[in-house]
Each structure stands twice: as C-alpha cells, then as structure tokens.
Structure 1
C-alpha cells in the first residue's frame, strides 16, 4: 500500500512518490479553474480548440530541448514541424565550443517563422519564441526569466542540458517539458529525471532518426522518457498537448474539485491494489492526483472516467502509473547538516561501550535505490575509524519498488554521483567500474535490502536508529499515526528517529521526545501509555475498512468510555443536586457527590465500597430493593418517606435511583438521598391516652408481627450478604484469573508481533542471501572457468600459509588434490620448492611488493615464480597469489643462444690465435684444428682429422700421452705439461700443452680441448 520511497521531487535531496510540490505558476485572473476531470469527452484525433485568450498568457509551458553531436539537423526538423502559435516557448541547449562565436540562432531561424533569439541574462520568456544558449555559458530559468551563468564544470564535465532542465523543473513543475535529441554521452538524463519527478512530460529522439544515440539512449535506458519519437513526431505531439488542461489549468485540488472525483479515485486505487497489492488511498490527494493527471496527458485523455476505462482495458498502464507514483529522486548525503548532527549527537550513543557489545541495527524505510542506506554506512565507518572492525553494524533498507531494490542491491551508480560524493569518499568507498562507480564490499556487506511495505508488512525490531526522510509528508494523518506507532514499536528504548526537514511527529509527541528540532531527530520515549500495535491489515476487510478501522479503534474505544464525573454533574443538576453516589452493577461505589455521611453507617470489619454495607442499617433493605428493581426494569425508582434514625433522632428521606445507560445497557446507577426533615418524637401523655383505647391488642399484634418480620428480614439479609460475599469472592477470583489471562494474552500478542517481525527479518535476510548466493555462484562459475582456461599453475595462499585455491596445472606441478584445500602448504611434498616461502609471503603481504624468482622443479624444468599480494574487494591484503610460469623453453633457447654466441666468439678466438688449438677425442681422434696448428705442425685440418693425433706423437711418448687422455676422460684436472710433437716434415718439436675436459649438457666428459705452444724444435 505505502510506497516506502519518497514522492518524486526535482530536488535531488528529496525522494518519493510524486512530488509536484513546486507546482506551476498561479493562474491568471479569470482563468478557467473548472476540474478538467469533469469536462466533456475529448476527441483524441483532433487538437483541442482553445485560443490564447482562453489559456492566459502566464500559464504557458516551456520546452527545454537538449542536443549535442548531430543535434543541428534534429533541431531543424523539429522546428519545421512546430506550429508558430502553439502557445509554448522553446529553449535550445546545444553543446557549443566555448571559444567560438555561435551561428546557431541564424541557422535555425531559417527553419521556423517564430523569432529565434540568442538568450540574454534576465530576459523574460515569451510564448511562441525560440531561445538559443550562447557559447561558453550555462543557462537556467528563474521565475520564467533566463539566467546566464559562467560556464562551470560538474565533476570535470560541462553538462548544460542537465542544468537547464533541472532549473526548468524547479521553476515550472508540471508545465516543464524536456526533449533530448541526437548527441553523445549522457547529458540530459538527470534533467529529464527532474522534470518527470516534478510532473512534467519528457521526450527523446528514437534510434532510427538520431545520428548519435548516446544522449537519448541514456535517458530512455534510465526510464525517464514518456515518448520516444522522431523530431517530426515530437513536434506533432508537442502541438497536441500544448493546450491540454494538465499543462494549462490549475490542478483540480486547488479549485476545490477533490470531493467530486473521490469515487473515481477509489476505482483507481482499487485497480492499483488489485494488480500491485499496494493501497494508495491513505496518501495525500494532491500528489496522487497530479501523477494521475500526468498519465492522462500522456494518453490524450481529459476525463478521469476515460482514464479509468483505459486502465481497465490496458492493465500494463496500471504498472506504468504505479511506476510514476514511485518515482525516486534521491542522492548520497542529502542534507549534509543532518549527517553532521548524527555524528555529533547520535553516533556517540549508538557506539558507546554499552551498545558496542551487540550489533547496531538501523532501518531505512523508503530507501529507493539505496543512496540513503549507503550514506549512513559510510558515515558510520568514518565515525568509527579504526574501531570499525570490532563493532557490528546492520542496516536494513526496504522499499516496495522491486526495481529500485534490485538497483540498490547491485550497488552500481552512474558517474553523476561524483557531484554528490567527495573525491576522498569516492576513492575510499567506491570502485571505478564500467558505467560508473560500484560501492565497496565493506559498505555493501553492512546493508540488507528488502522489498517491504512499511504499513502492511511486519516491521523490523530492536532497532537503534530509523532514518525515514521526506516520506511522512505524503501520508494522510491516519497513515502518519500508524507509521509513527510502527517506528515506536520497532525502536529500542531511548533509540533514535531521523525525519526529513519538512516532517515532524505531529500529534504523536507522547511517543517521541525532540532531540534536535532543526534536524528533526527524535528519541523514543520508553514510558508511555500502551500503544495500539495492530499493524497487520486483515485480509477480509473491505477496501474502505483496512487500515482506517484499526487506526481509529483506540480512539473510538476511548470515546465510548463514559465520563462519570460529567454525567453525574449533568444528572445532579437536573435534580437540584442532592447528595448521592454512583455505583456499578455490582453495587460498588464509584463516585461520591455531596455530603453522603448522614446516610452512611460503615460496619466494623474489612474496608469496602459496597453501598449496602456502607448504607445506614435502617435504609439498607429499601436501598437494596430499589437498586435491584432499577437494574431489572431499567426505570427510575422513587421511594418516599423512608424513616431512619440519625444521631439517635428519627429522620425521613426520599430515595431516588436513576439508571445510567450506555446504549441499551445499564452500566451504572445513581443513588440520590433527598432530605425531607426530622420527625418529632411522640408525646408520652398522648401515647398513654392511646393505650387506654380498644386498639391496644391490635397494636401489640402488629408490633409482634413487625418484630418477627424484622427478624426474618434480618435473617434473609444475613443469608443474602453471605451469598454475596461468596459471589464476590468468586468474582474476585474470576477477575484475577481474567487479568492473568489478559496479561498472558497481551504477552502472546507481543510475542506474536515480535515473531512476525523476526520472520519478516529472516525472510528479508534470506532474500538477500539468496541474491548474494546467486551472485556468488555466478562469480564462482566465472572464476572456475577462468582458472580452468588459464594454462598456468596458480596457487592462492592465505596469511596462515593454508591453501585456498589452485588451478589444475598447479595441482599437477605441486602434487595437489581436492582434499588439500585448507592444508598448510608446508605439508605438501611439491615437485618444486620455494626457498624461505613463509618469509617471502610475509614480506609480500607487509610490503605489498611483488617478488619474482626462477626455480627448477624436480625434473629440471625452469619456472618463473611470481608472488603477488592477494587483495580483497575492499583493498585489504589477505594472502598471496603465486603463479608458476614455465620458462624452460626460454631458458634452453637462452642457453643455446649463449652457447652459439660463445662458440662464435671461441671460433674467432681459435681462428686468430697464435697457438695450436685442437679438440681431441679420448680415443685420439682430432675433432677440430685451427689454422695455427696447421701452420706449426705442417698438417692441414682435413689431414689432421683423417690421421688423428697418434702420428704426431713420438712412438716412445705415445703410452704416456694415452694415459693423459684417459685422465681427461675421467674429468681430472691436468697441469700444463711439456711434450714432444712430430712435424709433418719429420722434425720433433717441444710444446707446452694445456688441456681442458669438455662436458655435454648432462655434465659428462665427451672431448678434450688442448692448447699447444711450440717451445722449439728438438732437431733444429
């Protein structure tokens, strides 16, 4: 029923249902104020035939038209089709180069016969004129005059369309019309939002005709556009609605027509409730009517009865009307002063030591898209600072708009919030993402969003703070009273309530005490009379019953309770106010009036207020009889001349018993004692003479009979009194049991209400958890596919060195299986070991610096191991990510490259050396032979390779040389030695030989490299 979301209002600091509070300019003198909803039928195919004189010069609409790239052609096509006498003004806002003169006015003047003027500061806006924004300026509207300002950048961007449309909405309300034509980016989206919230109409160019679809597409996607048309069709539609009553005449509620259309509104409310389950009948009429009138203007309808028929035949229009009633215009940190007051006066109490032992619970009813809830979460984290980790916070945010709740749960907001949130907060609490800014996980986890009806659904309970801003002002008094009672029930003792700047607790001052008048902060009063907490609407109630019945039940009951004093005074005055008492049906005295002492003679014993026991014994019998007769017959009883003894002397009174009726039942009795006077005692002489008469025996008999009668009567009275005492005791026991049952019943009702609140809270949390589980499952699916697709061994470790996640490739490399999740990495016998792993992980976490090292696995393959910090969504370091990149091929390639380079260098060195350099096999074969060897020993390289080393060694020295080769084959180090060589011409040469063993890639000897320097010929 209730929209927990504030009526729309062009002020970004206000949310809700349909705020046209700014309204339009007042109608001119003599303007027609007749309720348009009662006019005759309109022909949707023809234009309304109204002259400018009928409309009035001051009530014309103003059309704000925004465009950017490709907008000039769209402007021309729009102006060509606009009639020159539609009675509307047009203001064109184009993105212009700031340092060039504009020819826009001259170019557009060719497309229309209306005057096309470049806007001037303070210029009044006239109908059937076209105004163009000048370059390097920002244009606004104030009191139907153009206002030029220096060009300003909003969050680094120039947004002239948004600025103009917002000021137009604030100035004209329902008479503002917004049009977005071709252009890039998103300028104009927020402007159309403000116009629609103010009750105006909105247009956007369609994708087929727009050269650039950025600006109109952004507004359409955001849901703020009523008509999506080509420029020519927009012109036609503007001409059609130019004289529609919604744009021209005062709202019917101003002219006193609300009561006349109440029956039609009841039908609209019934249709809304049947389709959406929400009842708007207790909302204030003006806002509801304006939103309905706006929808009627969209559909070319002037009579409310016609719109009702349209709702019945087009059920989808009910959904669109519902969305219009729930336009949410909100922002981060609305009214910053209120947040300052919360930090100064409320948060210190919420987070004191006593409360810090448990979770602080906050409720934001009517949260819209979540900005208010997130703002509170951010403000609390800023207030707590370093203490935030040790204090639990839970913020419940509810709304009846499931689309708004879905957006709030996503936590993604467009780039325009940069104008609402400081750069420091953007950096700390938001993450830049595609399409805008996403709230950080640390803030998101504090908020639980739920679709909930404030009035109909059970509330949250045991709350420390409720923030309900600019919602109550759109409720009628009964609904406001119910909402405040709900808040009182939901809050803990001495907890806080924050309302909007235009709201107050009104007549519910007995529930809340004022803490800060300017910021509307209240504290719950803990000791108050019992409040009616019958929150749930009974499903069997009729539409005209519902909430109103339970809202007024307490007041009706109070009105039915009789005011005993006032009733007594009225009756006593009517009968000259003799002394008397008021008794209940049980004859218990409830009220004394006047001096009743002479007629009362309390008996010794337990104190009592029973009239028969208190009454004079001479009057008790007659009093009892009269009271019982009055109760039985319901009529006034009047007894005359009752005699009794007062202070030992005879006296006489008249007794009157008056029934006090409530409806058809007797609730109380009034007993009046009317004094007659004292009776003189009989003269003794006269009495002696009387006794000499004949009637003395008869008198004696009568006296005896009277004595017997008195005795019998006394016995009956005693028996009756005993019976009454027993009945009274039983009645008291029954009353005691009834009170106990009533107390138990109240406790059960309270427990039931708390259980309903708890169930609602659990359902809300469950809904939130289901949403998060879906998101988590999707994220896990993405992560698993990503890890499976990345052909890299990746291992994620926590700060405690336990395994959190790994890829299949890492499982093969590190010998990991599914059961290793949560095990310390030190317990795993991996194929590759990272030296000082724990110290490296600690250094990466503490210094937030990556480390890279190269290691070999057990098979000798090389890996580049990279350790990087593991960052959570809220930028906390909570572990390390280790990636193993196989670089064995790169290593081998590098080794070969180095080998080749070395070989090239060695080849050059060998070729140019003056000493003989050769490579010999351990069997005496020559594998390589440099030019110096050819020159010193006289053998060519081919010949030396052919014959081997043996012919070059004297026969006597060959065994020793062969032993030298065997030592080299074993890898032994050989000292330089002096040997003999035989020249090709037969000469013997003495040489100094230096030998080195050559190893293959596996480290095994395969040849010997020798360098021989000739010392001189033995024969020469």
Structure 2
C-alpha cells in the first residue's frame, strides 16, 4: 500500500490487494472527448441518466435499486421545476453542475457517531473478546468500513476498539479503513471536524478524551485520526482490502440491487481473516450467501466467516496507478524447476498421510444439510453418483442399500449430539455381499459453533451365500422348529421392510411438501427482506430530507424574521409619510393603503382584497379603473387632478407596481396635496384676468415686461398708438419690437441701468424715429414690480410730440 499523510492527519490511501488471488485487468486509456458521446440506441430516459452519470463519475448506477434512484431523480426534477424526464436528461447533458448535484444526491450520506448503540455494545461483548483472544502480542486488528460517508462510523469504531484494547492492556495495533464513492465526503472525513450537534450522540467523557473543542465544533484528536485511513473506492468494481478482522458494511446494501448484493458477499468473504466478522445494517442480510457466513447475532446482524472455499469472481478493473508488471527474464525451464522443487520432507506428516489413505476407514465430512464438503479415503465402494444433475448431497450419492440406515444414524447423531454406529448392514460390493458398519460422529468448529458430521464406512465380514442359498431352498436343517422360526423371521423382516419403505416414501413426500413450503417461505422472506430494505432506504432518504428541511426551516425562520422586520419598517414608513398611497394588484383589488389613503378612499380593514371599483371613495373620480388598466397596458405613469368632497385638490398619480425581478404586479396610486398650489394658480389666473381687463380699458399705452425685458402684455392703446401687431410683439425684447425701431440707447439705459437701481422712473423723455409715424417725442414712466415668482416691469408711455408742454 502506498500512503500519504495530508495536513488533516488521517491517511489518504490508494488501495490495491496485498495478497495473491485477485486478477487485475488494466483498462484501455481513452482520450477525453470534447463533444458528448451519443446515447445507446436502446436506452430509455433512466438509462440515459445512468449513461451520463457513468461518463461523468465512472460509477454505473444501473444495478442499484431503481426505486431509490427514481425518488432521488424526482427530487432533483422538483428542485429544477422540470416535469418530464426527457427534459431533465437534456439539462444533465448540457449542465455539468446539475450532473454533479445529482451524483451527490444519489450517494445518500446519512450517518452519525455511534449509530445504533446496541451494535457497539454487541461488538464489545461478542466480537472484541474473540479478536483479542486470537491475536498475539504486537499483532494488528484491521477493520474496513465501505460506504463510510463523512467518516463518523470509522471514527466510532476506532474509538470503541481503542477503548477495549486499552482496557484489556493488550499490545495491539489498530487500523481502520474507510472508503466511499463521494470525494467531498472523503475529504470531510479526512479533516475530522464536526459540528456541535455531535454532542447528542457522543458522551461527554468521549468528547473530552477523543475530541478537541473548537470555535465551530469538535475536532477528532490526532491519536484517533492516525488510526484511520480514508480512500475513494467503488465497492462493486475496485479491489477490496484483505486480512481484515471486521467488515462493517451497514446500510449500504439497501441501495444496491440483488446482483450487486450477490457480488459483494464473496468479496467480503475473501477480504476477511479465517475468524472474521461481518456487520450489516438492521434491515440487511447476507441473502443467498448463507454458505459463506454464519449468523451469530440476529438482532444486530453480526455474521462470522465460514471456512469454506469462496467461488467469488474477483476480477476487478485496475486503476491508472497500477503500473505494468515486467515479465520475468528467467527461462521457462528454470522457473518450472524452481516451482516443482520439493522442500524438506516431514517424515511424521508423510507417515500420517500413508496411514490415513491406506488404513483409516473411508468417510466424508458433511454439514447439517447433508452436503459433502470433503472426501476421505476410498469411498467408491459406498458412494456412487446417480444419473442426473450433479449434486453433493450424501443421501443421493450413497448406495441404495445404505440410505435408510444412514438417514437414521445421521438423524440420531444430530438429535443426541453423540456418535452413532450401525453395524451389520448388508451391502453388495463388486457382486459379493458384505456387512458394512456406519459411524456418524458429530463435531463443531470454533468460533462459529456450527455443527459438522464425520461419516465413516467400515467394510466387515463377507456373508456366506451358500448357506443362505440352501436355506432359501428349504434345505435340510437340524429341526422343524428352527425352520418355522426362520420362516417367521423372514416374514416379519419382509413386513418390516415394506413398512419401513412406506414410511420412507411417506417421509420423502412430507419432505417434498416441506421443501415446497420452505421455498414459498423463502420467497416470502425475500419479498419481506426487499420491502424491509426499501423501507430502510426510504428511512435514510427521509432522514436526509429531514436534515435538508431542518436547514430550510432555519433559513425560512430567518427569512420570516427579516420579513417581519421589513414589514414593520414598511408599516412605520407608510404611517410616517403624510401622503395617501394605495396599492392594487393586477385584478385591481386593494393590497395595501396608508392611513390617509384609507380616509380618502373610505377604506376599512376588511376592504383589503376587494376591488377598488366596489368601494365608494371620497374623491370625484369616475374612471379610475380605466386609468389603472391603461397604466398596466402602457406601463407608463398617468397623472390628473382630482378633488375630494370638500373641494380639496390632489394630484392623482398612477404608476406600475414592479417586482424585484421587474414584473408588473399591479399599480401604485399616490395622491399629492396641491390645494394651496391650486389656490395660488386660481389667484394668479384671477389677477391675470384683472390685468387683462385693465389693459383693455385704459386709454394710455401700457406695456408689462418680464425679468428679461420681454413684452408679457400690453394695452390695446399701446398697439393702436404705435401701430404694432399683438402676436408679433408679445414675447420679444422691448428694444426688438417694431423691427428694431425701439432700439434707442436712451430706452436701453432706462430699462437696463436706471430702472434696476431706482426701481421707478418718472417723466423720462425719449425721441424715437418711427418709419410710419415719423419722429415722435415720448415720455416714459416706469416702475419695477418685485415678486417672489418673477419680477415685472410696468411701462406707461405718453406721446407728447404735438404738445408744447405736458399737461
């Protein structure tokens, strides 16, 4: 093994087998394709998802439990708001991030410290003492946890075993391997940092001894981290570890299909030591692999390895780190010679072998199901395979004459747990009758306690056929009573044989019925086991979903607090703003209103949600619904002036209600108080009317100029006296009217220099040369009118050309 120590302290591992027996096949290297590979022609939607996952992660999910996979895929589709699986396949093909998210979701990482505490209690009572008893000082205990997720179970086993090793004062090394498909989970496991929530699963004493408190949680101590090694591994494809004492594969098989479960059991059997233990989840079993493991704790699902030859298919795909092995340079003859060269001869072993093969009785070793596991000596005289399918069942291999007595002897040996012998059983061997003795010896093997049977066959004396033949023909005998007794015994023997044969046939029929019932029970048991696994899987998913919901609940609680705070702020803001504001949705129903808006629109709390047109507002508005719909359609702001019932003026403004993502979700109606402004406008309009009336009434030429000395208004006498056009005059600078005839330096001095200083000019004489009127003598009286809005200049002009003196 090649190890490297990262800063976290726990080892990272590149695993490969460390003993012979596994044949590695190096994969062909492929160039990374830029374009996505086409789907297989026969693949359905689910198969296409498996194809994409295998391309992205090299993990084949097609043999996993499809019900579980469908639930996890449906969950991702709900999160992505996708209804059709084909659409989700398209998303996966174009979005690598979603493909990674789906891969992480399929690997349900649900675990915790000391999960199912009864299992760890059973581990201390039933497994650890046997392990410690079989280990020499300085030995090593090796543990493997496939599917370790974020490492809680790995650290739990390390803590539990290290406690027992310390308590019993054994000098043993401990190595715990944790593997998983998820790289992020393995990375988190190597760091060994966990949140404060683990305090509910770990006792205060263990927290003190094996953890270090940090600001954000608990850190596994360096001593425990050094015992644990983590690596990414595919349980169904990568080579396993070996020489293991414990394999803890809990709640992993429930996600695998029957084919993968069947493949995993021989792998576990291969990886374990002769006295090795397998820990499964409470809803898991070894299935059909009962010939490889013996159940020693039904409640906690603890199995021990059987010492039988495993027929596992241990051909795994080699990883990139496996280098090509160089071919040996020695020639084949030398290699063959070295291989076949015998070692030192053990005389005692050789003698024992000769005695066992030539002088010991022939026999077989069978289990309680009559299956032969080993042949000893020459058994051809007593055993003969019947025509038909190959079998190792002893009762189907033994010669017909021995079946009844052998069945009875085995039954008694199992029942009484003692050696049973049957002597004088007649059997023809090579055409000659012999008496055969059968001995059945029961025994057990530690540590499993499983029963085995040694069946021995001893060939006795030959039977005198001549005497039997003469007796059968009614030959001469010593007395008639003896003949009668022999005849009676023969009759009784024939009756017993017939009765026994009937019993045997009845027993065989009963056995067939029991076998059929047993098959039905096994089928029901498998269905119940499958259902139980599905329930356990659903439980794991529910736990994972519950954790997600807990996180979402916390987020929603925080959002609710934020929303409540924002709602309070909005309520206070609207209450503080002395402006009537009303919000409606797209159906013109009232959504929210400020207190002033409630008064103007005559709202009560129960009116929230009612249409605005159903309410009788205290405003003179007749077509507000049409105005709102126009705003919603044109997405523009509309403004108009309205009055309440008391004649108070407001500026009604309607604008679209835009959401955060710029969607239209109603309208906002604002009423701005413009009563004072409107009254000022009315007064100005009235003053303007008065001014117009005065200007139209007086006989003297009058002109009103603005701050820029432009003609604002002029009297009728002004236009008539100086022959000017009203439209061409208003809006022009005073010096520019009449085609520039008024552009006289004296007038400019009057308006631009003198008037700003004195604000009033009386009897200012000016001579102006008009084209039509000729040269005229004018007297100007000017006054500057100051105003907040705009200063004005009032000019009174008198023509004194024909007057010698002023009146």
Question: What's the TM-score, normalizing by structure 2?
Answer: 0.42
Q: Which has the larger radius of gyration?
A: 2
Question: What's the TM-score, normalizing by structure 1?
Answer: 0.35
